[in-house]
Amino acid sequence: MRHALRQDRPAAEDPAALRRPGRPRTADDEAIAGAVLQALVERGYDGMTVEDVARRAGVGRATLYRRWPTKTAMVIDALGRGRFPPPEDPDSGDARADFLSLLRTVQATFQREHHVMRALQLEVARHPEIGVALSRDFVPERLDVLIGVLGRAAAGGLLRAPSDVELLAQVGPALIWQHLALLTNEPDPDLPQRITDLIFTDRPEPRRRNR
């Protein structure tokens, strides 16, 4: 925690607690991640403290000090532990179907975690270092899956604009989030399909057999 971890750290802390954070024990993962994101939503980034997060998670403060050097690092790690996992590439042999499946997963995640995303949106504006960390440590791993699917589609001549698959990979999640959060609309179950239709070329009509 950038401020709380450094200011609240006990003076006589064990030097072993200052080592780079490793993977938390499985038993603590979900509890700590949930506590961090709950505190972020309810109290904001500035209002989060080591004491509050530790109390919510049912762990000691030293556990948090050992694992994360900054508040930002703790938030980014919490996001990736169950709430926003990296999607798996379906790789079904049908790039269009794979892309649509991934967008549906994105939409379901955004709908489920919209309160966390709104909190992040506010905090990124107040604390640019959070946006930097998201762009460096969180977004690429998730975006790469979409880029991979679109790369296969581009190689097969399936995209309307195949020259910039990285930009196209960002279009789907951005439109879904805008529709859900910025426009305050009811979730549109057809939105992933509509976005896919914008990005992919039309499927060829099946040829009729000559009688």
Torsion of CA 156, 161, 167, 170, to 10 degrees: -80
Q: How far apart are CA 48 and CA 43, in angstroms?
A: 6
Residues 182-203 pLDDT 10s: 776 678 999 999 999 999 998 7
DSSP 87-101: PPP---S-HHHHHHH
Please check whether residue 123 is in contact with residue 45, taking contact to mean a CB–CB distance below 8 angstroms: yes
Please report the pLDDT score of residue 204 as a whole number. 63
Please report the pLDDT score of residue 24 as a whole number. 43
Q: How far apart are CA 112 and CA 126, in angstroms?
A: 24
CATH 1.10.10.60 residue window(s) in the chain: 4-82
Please report the pLDDT score of residue 209 as a whole number. 61
Burial of 88 (0-12, 13-18, 19+ CB in 10 A): exposed
Please report the pLDDT score of residue 187 as a whole number. 82
Alpha helices in the chain (DSSP H): 4-8, 26-47, 50-57, 61-67, 71-78, 95-112, 114-126, 128-133, 139-155, 165-177, 191-199
Q: How far apart are CA 20 and CA 53, in angstroms?
A: 20
Q: How far apart are CA 149 and CA 137, in angstroms?
A: 21
Q: Per CATH, which fold does 4-82 belong to? A: Arc Repressor Mutant, subunit A (1.10.10)
Residue 192, H or E segment: helix 191-199
Q: How far apart are CA 102 and CA 175, in angstroms?
A: 14
In the structure encoding, which two tokens stand for residue 146, read together? 């979409």
Please report the pLDDT score of residue 15 as a whole number. 33
Q: Which CA distances in Å does 159 have to 57, 104, 145, 156?
A: 46, 19, 16, 8
Q: Which CATH class is domain 87-199?
A: mainly alpha
Those residues of the chain that have pLDDT short of 70 are 1-27, 184-185, 204-211
CATH 1.10.357.10 residue window(s) in the chain: 87-199
Please check whether residue 195 is in contact with residue 171, taking contact to mean a CB–CB distance below 8 angstroms: yes
